[in-house]
Amino acid sequence: MKEFTYVITDAEGIHARPAGELVKLAKEYNCAVSVIKDGKKVDAKKLFGLMGLGVKQGMEITVQTEGDDEEAASAALDKFLHENL
């Protein structure tokens, strides 16, 4: 399992457009992808789960990847977060 943390810098937090793009990216990988905020863990391949976390600017999330292509998924998601959120 790979895991990293990221602090959201976008003024609007994780809102609809980047959340949709994040879900689309997560679905490109076979491994399980989870996002955790304040102990609540959701499947990053499900938009409503991700939006339900209510992540705002300045909040820290943890991203976990587990499975065959976890290394590639983790790297791609880290890059996405830094460029978009």
What residues act catalytically? 15
* 47 three-state secondary structure: helix
Contact between 34 and 61 under an 8 Å Cβ cutoff? The reply is no
CA 68, CA 49: separation in Å to the nearest integer?
A: 23
* 79 three-state secondary structure: helix
